[in-house]
Structure 1
């Protein structure tokens, strides 16, 4: 088991909570409930900072003075969490501040991977009393990600998904956009080289740090956040029929059994393809092709139960 640490029971944690105030009334109520439990039941000292636009969460996390807080908490979806991860990562390994999470997003993929509770009371308990888990991150052209990065169909879906439809129907918006992208065709092929080896050509690629994908779907069964390896998931065959087949394989939990599907362990991956195509990381576009993906040179402590 990886090394973890747990505070003494009497510790009153000082928490900076970064949140998006336009995330919706339901999520605001859940955050408010978590804050009430933190302060009233656990005696935590909470500082709340609201973002005003893209990049604010990263800047806030980066600006935290050493020793000012016991943890920086991302209260939001995977995009907000990714910004805070990058802000904390920019500080370097010697001054690492633990990341806390209040899952308020559509997918909550990192929260599922870490086994975090989604309810307000459970989330507050982890922030107040949880241990820290050392998490190895990936970087894509210098941009950090916690769970996965990808080029191909999933990246084009992430870039094209309708944010208004996402607010209305949640994960269903990704299904709609996925089918639209498959019907439209295009994209790829992509050439990738693993650890300096001979390039191979694929229809899509996902570089995984965790084993969950898009919620609780599984692409890389053996991937774990505490394991310092990338798991490179290769979707080799082009065409709409194969794209639908891979999509069914993910949804049905049978993808790892497909004879043409491969997973390669790696420390560094270079992906080339149509210049400027998106690269998604943790559900947001974080880079453009060509891209180099590697393990981050630092470890991020994350609060878990």
Structure 2
């Protein structure tokens, strides 16, 4: 780095997410500073603010790493801001995991105590990952429609802050009992160009193998590969939905004949127009949706 300083970390902090692990951001910043980094703090004050901060930071060339201090939604905002900057190779992404699920941090083994996180941000090399794209918006871990997207769309943010993952479990139960009879038409393009068509009660396109924390949906997909794995839950109805939820919790999804896991480089999901599409735990699009691999370059500082 020609500026003659340690690595410059620009921390974009979501204080709402920060309530889950109070004091962690300050401790991480102190640890990173002790490891030689130069740290600046940028606090968000509304939804979408992290995107504009990240876009401006990427354009300003004042940060060597842009750090998302929040949950998966904050990371998603930051990544989209960096992509919107127009910079050919924006700074790498760093993470201080403060959210409910922290799926990307688990995927990259980027969890840990404040000292470990701070030292990694200050010193660890960056690795290239391949993000996904849903109707023009980036996601890092997963995008999908069906039961989980409806839960995300209807989640009570106050309840989420209060009971964390329990809010998703409660929302899932409410959606199952409502039994909306979900039915989606999914067109997949495989890595070899083969096109296949499917019907599903829920469909999730995975970029990483973890889901909702450390549950595993697509065991063989990895962030470093430019491919998605489509997870298709083919049986409709309340009983099927409860069976799928139980099987996921117990790690028993693999091998089920009514759950298809198919590699894809692109997907189109159709169903009732306007149905929500969740990406990284937030609604990022509405049906119909086209999902593919982003052609840009995303680098991430993290991992053990």
TM-score normalised over the length of structure 1: 0.93
Partners of 1:184 and 1:116 lie apart in 2 by 37
CA contact 1:102–1:118 (8 Å) conserved in 2? no
Partner of 1:143: 137
Partners of 2:262 and 2:166 lie apart in 1 by 30
Partner of 1:15: 9
- Structure 2 residues not aligned, in runs of 5+: none
Give me the CA root mean square deviation: 1.6
1:1-305 alignment to 2 at 5 Å? 12-25=6-19, 27-39=21-33, 41-64=34-57, 65-92=59-86, 94-195=88-189, 197-305=195-303
Partners of 1:118 and 1:190 lie apart in 2 by 39
Note the alpha carbon deviations across 1:180-224, whole angstroms, 9 max, x for none: 100011052000100172431110000000000000000000010
Q: How far did residue 11 of structure 1 move?
A: 6.5
Alignment length (residue pairs): 296
- Structure 1 residues not aligned, in runs of 5+: 1-6
Partners of 1:55 and 1:264 lie apart in 2 by 33
Partners of 2:172 and 2:274 lie apart in 1 by 20
2:258 aligned counterpart, secondary structure: coil
After superposition, the Cα gap between the structure-2 partners of 1:62 and 1:100, relative to the gap in structure 1 and judged at 3 Å, is: same
CA contact 1:159–1:284 (8 Å) conserved in 2? yes
Partners of 2:186 and 2:19 lie apart in 1 by 43
Note the alpha carbon deviations across 1:16-37, whole angstroms, 9 max, x for none: 1101133354534111111111
CA contact 1:72–1:97 (8 Å) conserved in 2? yes
Stretches of 4+ aligned residues off by more than 4 angstroms: none
TM-score normalised over the length of structure 2: 0.93
Partners of 1:25 and 1:242 lie apart in 2 by 36
